[in-house]
Chain A
Amino acid sequence: MKYVDEFRDAALARRYAEAIARMTTRPWTLMEICGGQTHSIVRHGIDQLLPEGVTLLHGPGCPVCVTPAESIDAAVAIAGDPGVIFCSFGDMLRVPGHDGSLLAARARGADVRMVYSPLDALEIARETPDRQVVFFAIGFETTAPATAMTVVQAARDGVANFSLLVSHVLVPPAIEALLSAPDNRVQGFLAAGHVCTIMGYWQYEPIADRFGVPIVVTGFEPIDLLQGLYQCIRQLEDGRAEVENPYSRLVRREGNRTAQDLLRRVFVVQTQRWRGIGDIAESGFGLAPEFAHFDAGRRFGYATVAPERPSECLSGEVLRGLRKPVECPAFGTRCTPERPLGATMVSSEGACAAYYRYRRPVAVPA
């Protein structure tokens, strides 16, 4: 496929690995923010091409993984209402809340449907005016414009039986929270390319300045990832801390203005809870007052967020780059993709699931 195959060129990947090895003189710890990048790195073995001493930590950028269990509990409760059709992206269905997952709710008879786009949920609402249709709006800045457009269309057309359970998260405040933590080890970041497609990368310039870390806007294919790593390590070796954008075929400094205008209209920035990490100020989107009547939490009476309950799962430490999945005692034993304890084992972009799929020690046949 065009714009995919040429960015998987094995010979070019090898040349990048050699170039990185030539220029690396010291150990460095880098973090990729986005779960899609984690998946691609582990799948293509990019981390194994890096020189010894260069460590890649996997960041909190899997929206499915950081959606708080309390939001899933609200989703399960709302889906249990017999008058409701509950629509969600597929990867959210298996994530456990405190009282099971949406898939378990469906097994109990709830009408839970998987959709590819929030517009599909709105379409279901138009076709089924006698039922309440609720969309579980999760995702980063990449996905929020799709939600915003759906809300605006629903408002314009007066679709009264449609509402949304909104749990959108924002990347820059999470990066700042990671860098401000006393136990932070991250020296350079690969910024999430598709988030930057929408938001641009000017927001990262003050972060790079303030914390003295290079931030490189990076795509998802092997060549994109290797180029991002190359530029990030090169900056570290040169003692620079700048924002660079090798993902320029898709990202411009100012981002997608049309999408940003709509985000500003539909959402307000608010404190958001991240699963395993806790509350981060100004790190999420809620519906603006003009659109508050589309808030499913309000419509169904689940407005409050309960305190986080303790669990055996260490995904909070995995998401902050403090531990690798294989360092969790439950990994691969009490916790597997079939019986996940935490969301990082459920989503294919979660670090635990990526390691389970591609990095489990396999028995060598005799």
Chain B
Amino acid sequence: MCLAIPGQVLTIEGNDELTRQGRVAFGGISKMINLAFAPEAVVGDYVLVHAGFAIAIIDAAEARETLDYLAEMEAEDLS
């Protein structure tokens, strides 16, 4: 139900604050998605999509940090 999936913004149309939308690619398929809750999203960004709405922009640097977290903790524990 709270399933939300990451996709990449391909196009953005309109600038009405309620109906701003864009085409978002999920792997092989793409869909029109409402972007009103991600007003800063630009073409190329990855967004998290739930029930037809982008609810957040994915922060690439933070994603990297999550993947490196354990290695950092292990290094800290050894030092």
Q: How far is the CA of A5 from the CA of B1 in the complex (A)?
A: 21
A142 and B56 within 8 A (CB)? no
| Interface pair A149/B70, CB less than 8 Å apart | no
- Contact (Cβ within 8 A) B66 A258: no
Which residues of chain A are within 8 angstroms of B43 by Cβ–Cβ distance? none
B58 touches A248 (CB 8 A): no
Please give the distance in Å from A268's CB to the nearest CB on chain B.
20
- Identify which of B5, B27, B53 contacts A149 (C-beta below 8 A): B53
Tell me the complex Cα distance, A166–B70, Å: 42
Q: Are B1 and A64 neighbours in the complex by a CB distance under 8 Å? A: yes
Instruction: Please give, as numbers and ranges, the residues of chain A lying within 8 Å of B19 by CB-CB distance.
Output: 153
Q: Which of A61, A117, A249 contacts B62 (CB 8 A)?
A: A249
Given the complex, which residues of A lie within 8 Å of B60, measured CB to CB?
Answer: 249
Chain B minimum-CB-distance residue to A9: B67
A: interface residue count bin: 35 or more
Q: Does the CB pair B59–A349 fall under 8 Å?
A: no
Q: Tally B residues with Cβ within 8 Å of A.
A: 35
Cα–Cα distance between A73 and B66 once the two chains are bound (Å): 44
User: Do B67 and A12 touch across chains, with their CB atoms under 8 A apart?
Assistant: yes
B27 to chain A, nearest CB (A): 5
Specify which chain A residues have a CB less than 8 angstroms from the CB of B34 in the assembled complex. 117, 119, 149
How does the 8 Å CB contact mask read for A82-94 relative to B, with 1 for contact and 0 for none?
A: 0000000101000
> A16-B70, A249-B63 in contact; A91/B58 too (CB < 8 A)?
no
Within the complex, which residue of A3, A12, A119 is in contact with B6, where a contact is CB–CB below 8 Å?
Answer: A3
Q: List 14 A-B pairs, Cβ < 8 Å.
A: A3-B58, A19-B70, A89-B51, A139-B1, A139-B2, A194-B55, A197-B48, A197-B56, A223-B66, A248-B59, A248-B66, A249-B58, A256-B37, A347-B1
B31-60 contacts to A (CB < 8 Å): 34, 36-37, 39, 46, 48, 50-53, 55-56, 58-60
Contacts of B18 in A (CB 8 A): 149, 152-153, 156
Residues in B lying within 8 Å of A, measured CB to CB: 1-6, 8, 18-19, 26-27, 34, 36-37, 39, 46, 48, 50-53, 55-56, 58-60, 62-63, 65-67, 69-70, 73-74
> A146 near B48 (CB under 8 angstroms)?
no
Query: In the docked arrangement, what's the CA distance between A156 and B17, Å?
Result: 12
The docked-state distance in angstroms from the alpha carbon of A259 to that of B50 is 13
- CA of A151 to CA of B74 in the docked complex: distance in angstroms? 49
Q: Does A134 reach chain B (CB closer than 8 Å)?
A: no
